[in-house]
Amino acid sequence: MRATQDHKAVQSFRDLEIWQRSKELTVLVYRLTQGFPREEVFGLTSQLRRAAVSIPSNIAEGQGRLNTREFRQFLSVARGSNCELQTQLEIARELGFGNQEMLDEAEGLSRRIGQMISKLLSVLKLKLTER
């Protein structure tokens, strides 16, 4: 299902493409960070993983609230976590950490998710103004 679909028509957060892609990104980030230096386990590795996990988690929690205003709030948090993740991926690249192809893939997927979040926020804002 598309990210712009009315969230009340969705049976589960698992039906949302935006959640599916963000979960895919989280798994990718975990695989990417497995190749990071050992001394980064409590540094950048941990930060990247927490930011990545936050994205699908907030999408799921927001959709589960079944309230458009709350869903938008949780999407805003997911958007912030996605921006945090993008920053950390750039830092990892500059430090030469991780597989460069995986970094490229993660950055591209993160940008796509950011676009999806923005579009869904706009659709939900429009829904609120129509009430």
Domain extent listing, the chain: 13-129
Which residue's structure tokens are 């893939």? 105
Confidence of residue 2 (pLDDT cuts 50, 70, 90): very low
**pLDDT higher than threshold 60 for residue 8:** no
Average pLDDT over residues 28-56: 97
Average pLDDT over residues 80-85: 98
Q: Which CATH class is domain 13-129?
A: mainly alpha
Rounded mean pLDDT of the chain?
92
**Phi and psi at residue 42, to the nearest 5°:** -100, 5
Contact assessment for residue 100 and residue 93, using Cβ atoms and an 8 Å cutoff: yes
| CA distances for 39 relative to 43, 67, 84, 91, 130, angstroms | 8, 43, 21, 15, 52
Q: Say what the pLDDT of residue 9 is.
A: 65
pTM for this entry: 0.90
Beta-carbon neighbour count of residue 111 at 10 Å?
12
